[in-house]
Amino acid sequence: MTTRVVVLGAGFGGLELATEVSGRCGAGVQLTLIDQAEGFVFGFSKLDVMFGRRPPEQVLHRYASMVSPGVRFIKATVTSIDPETRHVETTAGAFDADILVVALGADVHPEATPGLAEGGNEFYTVPGAFRCRDVLDKFEGGRVVVAVTSLPFKCPPAPSETALLVHEFLTARGLRDRSEISLVMPLGTPIPPSPKASEAVLAAFAERGITWIPQRLVRSLDPERRVAVLGDGGELPYDLFLGVPMHSVPQVVADSGLAVDGWIPVDPHTLETKYPHVYAVGDVTSVGTPKAGAFAEGQGAVAAARIVAAVQQRAPEAEYDGHGVCYLEFGDDQVAKVGVTFRPGQPPVGDLEGPSAELAGDKTTFGADRIRRWFGREWTTA
Ligand SMILES: Cc1cc2nc3c(=O)[nH]c(=O)nc-3n(C[C@H](O)[C@H](O)[C@H](O)COP(=O)(O)OP(=O)(O)OC[C@H]3O[C@@H](n4cnc5c(N)ncnc54)[C@H](O)[C@@H]3O)c2cc1C
């Protein structure tokens, strides 16, 4: 009998899971992967485009030319999910699953921060980050504010990386002397689970004259006065505002009843939801790890191993260990590697390697390996 596995979302978690399950089960499964986007874009590629390091056409990995054997890709928007019956409706028709995986990520909402759309910029969506490239291109120097507007948010190091890359960008253009850079973050340190990484980032801010404003959020912008209003009522004047918008599960997940207190609860070891044969992985969950690709991928791999065992009628053994490795951009071709582990009921622990130019090469290889494995082709940059 062929098992119907339906995977909703072809991001970090969905791509990893689909590749593993189809590769290991062969004809034993019929794997359908559904996503509404044209293609996959790494989170870190958004920063590469924004700062002019890569052109937009180089970072979009089109699903249409995916050659992963055994994966049937459907380009469609998921419009309803019934976790009880594992029945899914989409703009390309209905699908019934024996095993359903929800990997729909987190949506972001610039409209939730008053004044952001009119007076600032967000760099967390693909179009938003691509627009920032033009905004930065025209910027002639002044007060730059990089800020988070709510918790939780994807890739907690990304705002710190952005502040460091703004410094590199303005320096290269001869605009740094007439600019100020501030970073508003809701966290006490840049990378809380790794004190060493936080120390290195704070030292880099101090060396580069970047103002670190911890434990604050920007609640709104006043576009006329060009000020960002902080959660405590304080004000921060800006000429260029780069914001991280509010996050939520996609509306279709909210409507499905799968989410509790905003996100989908799962067993932190198995990634199973409370509904039989329904898994959730990545940013859409409240599994207890940060919302980042490295964790979504690890969760996708564990859920995949358990699905493979179920298809092959073996007892599942794989368990999620809460470990992930993120790359951290310092600018000037210096990249660090931060390994962190989040185990239920224990404080998270993290280390730091670098920063160095070698690790910048390591990060490039990390991306190229994923594209080869998930899409069956090379990440050509020519
Ligand atoms: C600026 C920036 C930098 C980042 N840098 C890093 C980094 O260096 N390292 C790292 O590990 N992480 C990084 N991240 C975070 C990372 O991109 C995400 O955490 C990761 O992609 C989450 O994976 P996921 O599979 O849960 O969701 P996603 O990768 O977001 O995938 C979800 C998919 O679901 C699809 N979808 C959503 N709703 C629907 C619907 N209704 N119908 C059909 N399809 C739908 C979307 O199109 C999307 O393809 C960064 C993020 C940003 C914004």
pLDDT in tens, the chain (382 residues): 799 999 999 999 999 999 999 999 988 999 999 999 999 999 999 999 999 999 999 999 999 887 777 899 999 999 999 999 999 999 999 999 999 999 999 999 999 999 999 999 999 999 999 999 999 999 999 999 999 999 999 999 999 999 999 999 999 999 999 999 999 999 999 999 999 999 999 999 999 999 999 999 999 999 999 999 999 999 999 999 999 999 999 999 999 999 999 999 999 999 999 999 999 999 999 999 999 999 999 999 999 999 999 999 999 999 999 999 999 999 999 999 999 999 989 999 999 999 999 999 999 999 999 999 999 999 976 4
Q: Where are the alpha helices (DSSP H) in 84-194?
A: 116-119, 126-138, 158-172
Q: What is the pLDDT of residue 70?
A: 86
How does strand 87-90 pair with strand 93-96?
antiparallel
Domain at 3-106+249-322+371-375, CATH from 3.20.20.80, 3.40.50.300, 3.40.50.2000, 3.50.50.60:
3.50.50.60
Atom of ligand 1 nearest to the CA of 251: 41
Spacing, Cα 218 to ligand 1 middle (Å): 23
Spacing, Cα 296 to ligand 1 middle (Å): 9
Q: What is the pLDDT of residue 68?
A: 76
77 lines ligand 1 (CB under 6 A): yes
Q: What is the pLDDT of residue 1?
A: 79
């660090």: which residue's tokens?
Answer: 336
The answer to whether domain 3-106+249-322+371-375 and domain 109-246 are alike in fold is yes
Spacing, Cα 43 to ligand 1 middle (Å): 7
Task: Please state, in angstroms and as integers, the Cα–Cα distance from residue 311 to each residue in 87, 262, 268, 342, following that order.
Answer: 19, 31, 21, 29
Pocket test for ligand 1, best of 17, 20, 36 (most atoms within 8 A of CB): 36
Nearest to 368 by CA among 379, 380, 377, 376: 379
Instruction: For ligand 1, atom 21, name the residue with the nearest CA.
Output: 293
Q: Where are the alpha helices (DSSP H) in 26-157?
A: 43-50, 116-119, 126-138
104 lines ligand 1 (CB under 6 A): yes
14 lines ligand 1 (CB under 6 A): yes
Per DSSP, 179 falls in state -
132 lines ligand 1 (CB under 6 A): no
Spacing, Cα 68 to ligand 1 middle (Å): 20
Find the length of the chain. 382
For residues 283 and 132, what is the distance between their CA atoms, to the nearest angstrom?
24
Break the chain into its structural domains and give their ranges.
Answer: 3-106+249-322+371-375, 109-246
Cβ neighbours of 216 (radius 10 Å): 19
For residues 345 and 253, what is the distance between their CA atoms, to the nearest angstrom?
27
Instruction: For ligand 1, atom 19, name the residue with the nearest CA.
Output: 292
For residues 190 and 193, what is the distance between their CA atoms, to the nearest angstrom?
9
Instruction: For ligand 1, atom 20, name the residue with the nearest CA.
Output: 293
Q: What is the pLDDT of residue 380?
A: 76
Whether domain 109-246 has CATH 3.50.50.60: the reply is yes
Residues 6+ apart with CB under 8 A from 337: 325, 326, 327, 328, 352, 353, 354, 359, 362
Q: What is the pLDDT of residue 382?
A: 47
Spacing, Cα 293 to ligand 1 middle (Å): 7
For residues 24 and 138, what is the distance between their CA atoms, to the nearest angstrom?
50
10 lines ligand 1 (CB under 6 A): yes
Q: What is the pLDDT of residue 381?
A: 66
Spacing, Cα 231 to ligand 1 middle (Å): 27
Cβ atoms 137, 231 nearer than 8 A: no
11 lines ligand 1 (CB under 6 A): yes
Supply the pTM of this predicted model: 0.97
